[in-house]
Amino acid sequence: MQCSVQTDVRAVMTKSFSTFFYLVMAMAIIFSANVRAEVIVQQLANEGFILSDGKSTRVMVDGMVVEPYSVYGGLPPELIPAFNSATGPFADINMILVSHQHHDHNQPENACQFMQKSTKAILATSSQVVDLMREKCREFVLTSPRIQIIDPQYDQMETLKVGDASVNIFLLSHGGGKYAHLNNYGHLIELGGVRILHIGDAAMEQADFKRAAVADMKVDVALIPFWYFQPGPGGGMVRRYLTAKHMIATHIPPGEMAEVKEYLKVEYPKVLILENVLDEARFGQ
Ligand SMILES: [Zn+2]
Q: How far is the CA of 19 from the centre of ligand 1 (A)?
A: 40
Q: How far is the CA of 55 from the centre of ligand 1 (A)?
A: 32
Q: pLDDT: is 35 or 227 the higher one?
A: 227
Q: How far is the CA of 171 from the centre of ligand 1 (A)?
A: 14
Q: What amino acid is encoded at 217 in this protein?
A: M
Mean pLDDT in residue range 229-250: 95
In this predicted structure, what is the pLDDT of residue 284? Answer: 86
Q: What does DSSP assign to residue 234?
A: H
Pairwise CA distance, residues 121 & 96, whole Å: 6
- Is the separation of the CB atoms in 230 and 56 below 8 Å? no
Pairwise CA distance, residues 146 & 165, whole Å: 17
Alpha helices by DSSP H, listed for 104-253, are 108-117, 127-134, 138-143, 206-211, 234-241
- Is the separation of the CB atoms in 171 and 152 below 8 Å? yes
Q: How far is the CA of 102 from the centre of ligand 1 (A)?
A: 5
In this predicted structure, what is the pLDDT of residue 194? Answer: 96
Mean pLDDT in residue range 110-121: 97
In this predicted structure, what is the pLDDT of residue 206? Answer: 95
Q: How far is the CA of 151 from the centre of ligand 1 (A)?
A: 18
Q: How far is the CA of 107 from the centre of ligand 1 (A)?
A: 12
Q: How far is the CA of 12 from the centre of ligand 1 (A)?
A: 32
Beta-bridged to residue 146, according to DSSP, are: none
- Is the separation of the CB atoms in 38 and 32 below 8 Å? yes
Q: How far is the CA of 38 from the centre of ligand 1 (A)?
A: 30
Burial 195-226 (b: 16+ CB within 10 A, else e): bbbbbbbbbbbeebbeebebeebebbbbbbbb
Structural domains present in the chain: 2-23+37-284 (3.60.15.10)
pLDDT tens figures, 35-66: 457 899 999 999 999 999 999 999 999 999 99
Sign of CA dihedral 215, 268, 220, 165: positive
Q: How far is the CA of 238 from the centre of ligand 1 (A)?
A: 19
Pairwise CA distance, residues 85 & 82, whole Å: 5
Pairwise CA distance, residues 159 & 120, whole Å: 19
- E strand map for 49-144: 49-52, 58-61, 95-97, 122-125
Q: How far is the CA of 27 from the centre of ligand 1 (A)?
A: 40
Q: How far is the CA of 179 from the centre of ligand 1 (A)?
A: 8
Residues 6+ apart with CB under 8 A from 46: 62, 65, 69, 72, 73, 74, 104, 105, 250, 251
Q: How far is the CA of 225 from the centre of ligand 1 (A)?
A: 11
Query: What pTM was estimated for this model as a whole?
Result: 0.88
